[in-house]
Amino acid sequence: MDLTIPFKVACRSMLLLACILVLAEQSLAQAINSNALYRNDTIGVRGVFGNWDIITTQDQAPDALKANFPDAKGPNDSPLFIGIHNSEQLFLRLLVLTYFDDLEAYGKLLGEGITSQGLQIVSARMAEDNTALEMVYAHPQLGLRFIERVALLPDSQVLRMAAWTTANEWDQFAGEISTAFEAIELYDAINAEPGWQNIWADLEQRLSVNNLEGIPLAQVTTELDATEACLDPTSSLLWQVLSPELASNNSQLYLFGSIHVGKESFYPLPAEIENTYRNADFLVFEVDPTSASDPAVMMSLQSRGMLPQGQTLANVISPEVLAEFRRVMGGMGLPAENFMGMQPWFLTLMLSSLQMNALGYLPEYGLESYFLAQKSATMEILELESIQQQIGFLENLNAETFLAYTLKSMGTGSEEIEKLINAWKCADKLPLTEMLFSEFEMQGMTPTEMADLEGLMDILYTQRNMDMSEKIAAYTDAEAGNYFVVIGSAHLLGEGSVVALLREEGFTVTPVSLSP
C-alpha cells in the first residue's frame, strides 16, 4: 500500500460514519480496577489517587491495555501502573527505569526519543539539585498534550510520571494533573531526609533551568480562528422534497445534511432549519441513536471489532502499513502492541474519532445528538439503516486501504478537517463537494489503488445512497405527516447523491434559502 496517496477518503469516512465512532469508543471502555491506592515498598513509591482507576497487572487491565503488562509482570516491573481518570479523557503512567549517568543526560536522551516520534517539546526544565526534571510536549496534529516528570531514586533508577489529554481539555484537567503528581511520594529519595517525601514538593522553585540546553523546543505559534465569513449567508444544507404524491397525502419531506460530531458553538441552528425540524412528526436518522445503548449491539460491535483468536494486525496488513501504524501510535504515546488484536476497520474508527476529538469535535455535539435531545415527545424516530448494517459495510471494506488512508490523515489532516467543517457550517456546497470527492482526480495512483478506492466508495457511498433514496421515496406512501431526514452531508452532494437519485425518480428537490 502506497502511503503517499492523499487522505480525503479518511476525512470523508469520518463524516459518513462518525455515528459509529461513539460506539467504537464505548466498546473499548471496560470495567477497570477501582482501587485508587498504590504502594510499592520495594521501590519506595506510594500514592492515593481518588479520581483515578489504577491498573497494576495484566488481569486487571481491559483488553486494550493488557499488552502494556507482560504476562509475568511482577510488582516492580515497569510500568508500575497506568491510571485512567474517571472522565476517561485523562491518562497517567508511572515507570521506573535503569539510571545510567546524570539526570541532565537522561533528559536529553528522553527529548531525542520524544522528538523522533514527531512530537514537539514545549518546555524542558531541570531542578537546581539535579534530582528532577520536567518536560511539556505536544502532538501538533492530534492536539494531544503531555507533561512528564522524572525523578531520581536512591538505587540508580529513575521514576518517570506522565499525564496526557487533549489540548482542548488541558486547562480543564490542570488541577487533576497537579493533584495526581502531588499524590506521589518516594521513600528516602536522593538528597532528602529519610522517610516518605513528596518528590515534587516546591517543584516550581526547584525547576530553575528553563529550556534545557540541548533539547529542541517547538516554535511558539499563535492559534488563528479558522472560521471565515460565509460567502453566501443564505445557503443551507436543507432541501425540500416535493411530489404530487406527497401533496395528496398531505405530507412534507425535508432532507438535512449533517455532520456526526460538532461543537457546542454550532447551536442553535438557523431559524429556518430549527423551525422545519420542530414541525416534524417523524425524525429520520441514518441509524437510530438510541440503539447505541443496547448492550447486545455493543457486545456485537466489540466482538466483531477483534481479529480471530491467534491473529494479529501483522497477519492482515502489509509491513509498510503496519510500520506506519506503529509510528502513528507511538507519536500519540500509545503502544501499538495494545491494539494488535483489533480489526483494521475498528482501528480506523478509533483513530478517526481520536483525531476529531482532539480538534474539539465531539459526538455529543453532533447533529444527531442535538436533534435527539431537542425532539418533542410526539416525534417518532425512524432509521434508514441499522448499526448491524453499518458494521457490515465496514467489514466488507478493503481493510488495508481504509486503515492506510486514515493513518495518512493523522499527520496532516487537521487543517483539511477544519476546512471541511467550515464549508459545512457555511453550506458552501461546491467547495464541500470538491473536498469530499476530488480524490478520483488525483494523479499517480496505481490501477490497484484506484480499484481499492472505487470499491471503498461503492460500499460507503454509492450503494448506501441508492438504498437510502429508495427508503426516503417510500415516505410518499407512508403515514401522513412531516418527515425530517438527517443524514451525512456527503450523501446529499455530488453525482449519485440521494438528492440526484430522488430527482431521477421524478421528485422536485429544492435547496432551502436562509433569511439574509
**8 Å CB contact between 254 and 240:** yes
57-66, 344-353, 404-413, 477-486: least confident range: 404-413
pLDDT digits (tens, 9 = 90+) for 180-194: 998 898 888 766 677
The pLDDT confidence band at residue 219, using thresholds 50, 70 and 90, is low
Cell of 320: 509498510
The values of phi and psi at residue 285, to 5°, are -115, 165
> Is 412 a residue whose pLDDT tops 60?
no
Structure pTM? 0.64
Q: Please state the rounded mean pLDDT for residues 227-252.
A: 89
Q: Which one-letter DSSP state was computed for residue 89?
A: S
Cα distances (Å, whole numbers) of residue 54 to 178, 202, 480? 17, 26, 55
Name which of 1, 14, 26 is nearest 301 in CA terms: 26
Cell of 362: 465531539
Which helix H or strand E contains 392, and what residues bound it?
helix 387-395
The pLDDT confidence band at residue 3, using thresholds 50, 70 and 90, is very low
Q: Is omega for the bond preceding 363 within 30 degrees of 0, making it cis?
A: no
The pLDDT of residue 101 is: 63
CA 69, 72, 73, 75 torsion-angle sign: positive
Q: In terms of pLDDT, which residue wins out, 211 or 278?
A: 278
The pLDDT of residue 28 is: 33
Strands 282-285 and 380-383 turn out to be parallel
Name which of 493, 428, 419, 435 is nearest 232 in CA terms: 428
**8 Å CB contact between 289 and 368:** yes
The pLDDT of residue 333 is: 62
The pLDDT of residue 195 is: 83
- The partner residues of 149 in beta bridges, in order of sequence, read 134, 161
Q: Please state the rounded mean pLDDT for residues 194-215.
A: 80
- The partner residues of 56 in beta bridges, in order of sequence, read none
What percentage of the chain carries pLDDT values higher than 70?
83
Q: Please state the rounded mean pLDDT for residues 247-276.
A: 92
The pLDDT of residue 509 is: 96
**8 Å CB contact between 355 and 412:** no
23-32, 145-154, 303-312, 322-331: least confident range: 23-32
Q: Is 374 helix (H, G, I), strand (E, B) or coil?
A: helix
- DSSP character string of 258-275: E-S-B-GGG-SPPHHHHH
pLDDT digits (tens, 9 = 90+) for 69-116: 877 888 888 889 999 888 878 889 999 888 766 788 888 888 888 887
Domain ranges of the chain: 1-516
Q: Please state the rounded mean pLDDT for residues 311-340.
A: 84
Cα 442 versus chain centre, distance: 27
Amino acid identity at 367? L
- What is the number of other CB atoms lying within 10 angstroms of the CB of residue 114? 22
What percentage of the chain carries pLDDT values higher than 90?
25
Cell of 79: 510500568
Amino acid identity at 406? T
